[in-house]
Structure 1
Amino acid sequence: MSTHLPLVLASASPARLSTLRSAGIEPTVRVSSVDEPAVLERFGVSDPEDVALLLAKAKAEDVASSFQREYEESEADDLELGLVLGCDSVLDLDGVALGKPADAADAVQRWKDMRGRSGKLCTGHWLIDLRDPDEGGTGGTLGAVSVTTVHFAKLSDAEIEAYVATGEPLAVAGAFTVDGLGGAFVTGIEGDFHGVVGVSLPLVRDLAKELGVSWTSLWTPGQD
């Protein structure tokens, strides 16, 4: 069996962490300090796919830098360099990139615009290889975007108000989930379900393969 390689997840998303854990990977979580609006303004990006990829790259690079610095300054034997994964999701509705709603009123308006329609959930992924060259490290850094079409139910105003009142839509890109309370309001998806949740497992596998890393080497030993 391949030697286990550690994965650092540059995201605070509980859904991404849960998805990776369900796939047999127990990542180390490090949250980036990236100022998202500043990054987008600096590069002048507005296309939803470009937004998702740029922010995923910025988060991965920020965490990779801080994690490598921590590794170099630490004498802890249990700190290992492996791969860093950054992710970011936005909903493409009529060509506009929609992240998390600003507040409850924004979430309500979003759902009034989305109900009975379809949008594209774009999730950017960026993977960085921090391994030492003597241990097979490539120094590689690459990314890609998962795009999944999401069909929304025709919610009543009362349903929208009740859903927003739970607080769930305020914490997620596009103001909806498929793996939570919002699941009943999504009538179908075309594409990778996990990409909508926040991390496309097949896409991460492909990126890892390009870095010469086998997906199974990311499985945490002892995981059931």
Structure 2
Amino acid sequence: MPPWIYLASQSPRRSQLLQQLDIAHELLLPGSDEDAEALETVLPGEAPVDYVQRVTGLKLEAAVRRHARRGLPPAAILCADTTVALGAAILGKPQDGTDAARMLTELSGQMHQVFTAVAVAWEDRRWAALSVSQVQFAQLTQQQIAAYVASGEPMGKAGAYGIQGRAAAFIAHIEGSYTGIMGLPLFETAQLLRSAGV
């Protein structure tokens, strides 16, 4: 097993979190010939916890095929996906500022769940884990929401917020994994990588 892994994620936060664990890694990102967004389609009636685990598995298998297609040196491949859920509703990445404001209005004053699934592939073996956290948002004013949306931070983030950024000021309480809410639960990730022999 090489002393490094592939990270199949475009999230700079996941890369930073791996660095926090001192895990050397190379990015294994989709090429222009892959429609990565298509993997994130929600199936009718799909529960958030089922969705996040299914999508993570699909992303991992796509990364395994990508690795083989490119003829890259062997190493474990790590993949993760994060989903924000308000009840049974999945709050994905906002389409635009209006969509981000809608999500933040829905989250205002509410407790919601953040699911992050992690999966690792090494040769023909697979390991997976799930982190579940509860996040309590404070009551937000329309001015706070508008200012946060105008900052651009909600874009590209599930639930239209990043706990490690300005939105930290909105979060009254969390239960679970702070790094899981960021997008890569380090406890579960470390366990999976140990299981895979990294």
Tell me the TM-score normalised to structure 2 length. 0.90
In the other structure, the counterpart of 2:151 is: 166
Report the equivalent of 2:95: 102
Cα gap change, 1:147 to 1:34, in 2 (>3 Å): farther
Among 10, 13, 19, the alignment partner of 2:11 is 13
- Could you tell me whether the CA contact under 8 Å between 1:6 and 1:80 is conserved in 2? no
Q: Which consecutive aligned stretches of 4+ in structure 1 deviate over 3 angstroms post-superposition?
A: 32-41
Kindly provide the CA deviation profile for residues 107-142 of structure 1, in whole angstroms up to 9, marking residues without a partner as x. 111111111111001111111003xxxxxxxx2113
Which one has a bigger Cα radius of gyration?
Answer: 1
Tell me the residue number matched to 1:57: 57
Q: For 1:53 and 1:45, locate their aligned partners in 2 and report how far apart those are by CA, in whole Å.
A: 15
1:111 is paired with a residue whose SS is helix
Give the secondary-structure state (helix, strand or coil) at the position aligned to 2:194.
Answer: helix
Q: Equivalent residue for 1:134?
A: none
Distance 1:171 1:38 in 2: 15
Aligned length: 195
RMSD value over aligned CA atoms?
Answer: 1.9
* CA distances 1:83-130 after superposition (whole Å, capped 9, x unpaired): 111111110101111110111111111111111111001111111003
State whether residues 46 and 96 of structure 1, in contact with CA within 8 Å, keep that contact through their aligned partners in structure 2.
no
Correspondence 1:89 to 2:82: yes
1:127 is aligned to 2:141: no
Structure 2 counterpart of 1:198, one-letter code: G
SS at match of 1:5: coil
Secondary structure, aligned partner of 1:167: coil
Kindly, what percent of the aligned residue pairs are identical?
Answer: 28
Please tell me the residue identity of whatever aligns with 1:176.
Y
By how many angstroms is 1:159 displaced?
0.4
Deviations 1:175-220 (A, max 9, x none): 1111111111111210011100100111112222333x1xxx4xxx
Determine the structure 2 residue equivalent to 1:194. 179
Stretches of structure 2 that go unaligned for 5 or more consecutive residues are none
How far has the Cα of 1:172 moved from its partner?
0.5
Please identify, of 27-36 and 175-184, the stretch whose mean Cα deviation from structure 2 is larger: 27-36
CA distance in 2, matches of 1:129, 1:162: 44
Counterpart check, 1:29 vs 2:24: no
TM-score, with length taken from structure 1 = 0.80
Contact 1:6 1:81 in 2 (8 A): no
For structure 1, list consecutive stretches of 5 or more residues without a partner in the other structure. Answer: 72-78, 131-138, 218-224
In the superposition, relative to structure 1, how do residues 150 and 105 fare at CA in structure 2: closer, same or farther (>3 Å)?
same
Q: 1:4 to 1:66 in 2, by over 3 A?
A: closer
Letter in 2 for 1:207: L
Cα distance in structure 2, aligned partners of 1:199 and 1:190: 15
- Conserved in 1, the CA contact under 8 Å of 2:39 and 2:59? no
**CA distance in 1 between partners of 2:142 and 2:99 (Å):** 14
Contact in 2 for aligned 1:34/1:59 (Cα 8 Å): no
